[in-house]
Structure 1
């Protein structure tokens, strides 16, 4: 299920970067630049999770967090340049669920968001999909959609694609991919992976000469394109 996030940050460039990245990751993203604006949006749109900067104009992130807890049980990740343990304790004691210290990578932010959503939703409703370029990959339903159209993959093809897409840019050898994607289900010679990759590329419409999704790293193995 697609999650609705509210990003609260008064630095326009950072806010735009976070919004663009998280939208690419498949989230619905609302934004606010001040504490008052954040509270108004939270009341009207009911986000599932709020990424909340500590230092904000009009109302501080601490005040916003305290007021949010009066009417919402949404997840809250506090973001700040403060690294003192006492500050972290203050944020957690007034109702924040997690704490992220600047500077941080956008990938770490997305990982923290997914981890908190899993805790909030429980085991029966985990966030188990990936958004990669124009592909949406649902682990829970073993489905892949390209531009909204479902692509029919075999279970083996799906596991390979999900493993690669979950780690864009990471190179997997054939043997690593077999072990990671298929675990003990397949013990054949690792070169059979090449056949699975060919079939996967054909179904995804990937150009073998210049693949967009599943790329060959000659002498090493395969990776999912980082630009996707």
Structure 2
């Protein structure tokens, strides 16, 4: 049974969410303070964390940044309606997805299940991609650049694998979004853009003028196969 950590300081909403998720086959543990999360994760291994933005002790953005530096579990953030800044900032700090509050329970459950499915280890195979000094091993889910291991979240790895598997081919934003997020691109969601940006940063790409993972304006993303010799 998947274990969910719910970090929410509204105790009424916390209990309603916990009851609904447990009724749908999930184990839920709760915290109501942001400054308790890191210590909890050092002693427990939930499969996913639902993280509110406004929390006592430490806000959700600070928690997300702190957690992402050490842990790779999926993070689903709860953001205020219409707060695009909150949504983009959460993704930039390493959140995997977000739901706008007040969250409709079925939508929240669907997002959780989608993240849990994508967070499952890939079926083992001997597949490995190499481009110059970049090596992507699908079996071990390890990425190395010039023999240095690059730490990616499970969703960042899947996105990099998708792009690298189609090296030299422009993948449309709609295709990537559907593949990674599991829902149709609405023209506004920045989730994939932010993940691409994080991957570029970790792989030493130029954030202003990317030359390894390019954005082809009006078309999509292009993984450049001959840009990885250091």
Structure 1 gap ranges (5+): 126-228
Match in the other structure for 1:44: 43
Larger Cα Rg: Structure 1 or Structure 2? 1
Could you say which residue in structure 1 is the equivalent of 2:96? Answer: 97
Which runs of 5 or more structure 2 residues have no equivalent in the other structure? 125-230
For residues 65-144 of structure 1, the aligned pairs below 5 Å read: 65-122=64-121, 124=123
What's the CA shift string for 1:74-102, capped at 9, x where partnerless? 00000021423222111001000001111
Distance in 1, matches of 2:13 and 2:84, equals 24
CA displacement 1:157-204 (0-9 Å, x = unmatched): xxxxxxxxxxxxxxxxxxxxxxxxxxxxxxxxxxxxxxxxxxxxxxxx
> Which residue of 2 is the match for residue 62 of structure 1?
61
TM-score normalised by L of structure 1: 0.52
d(CA) in 1 for partners of 2:14, 2:37: 13
Q: How far apart are the structure 2 equivalents of 1:82 and 1:35?
A: 21
Name the structure 2 match of 1:130: none
Distance in 2 separating the partners of 1:82 and 1:56: 17
* RMSD value, Cα: 1.6
Q: Distance in 2 between matches of 1:124 and 1:33?
A: 36
2:223 corresponding residue in structure 1: none
Q: Could you tell me whether the CA contact under 8 Å between 2:79 and 2:86 is conserved in 1?
A: no
Q: Deviations over 1:107-151 (max 9, x none)?
A: 1111110001111115659xxxxxxxxxxxxxxxxxxxxxxxxxx
Q: Does 1:19 align with 2:13?
A: no
CA distance in 2, matches of 1:100, 1:122: 24
Q: What TM-score, normalized to structure 2?
A: 0.51
CA distance in 2, matches of 1:123, 1:111: 21
Report how many aligned residue pairs link the two structures. 124
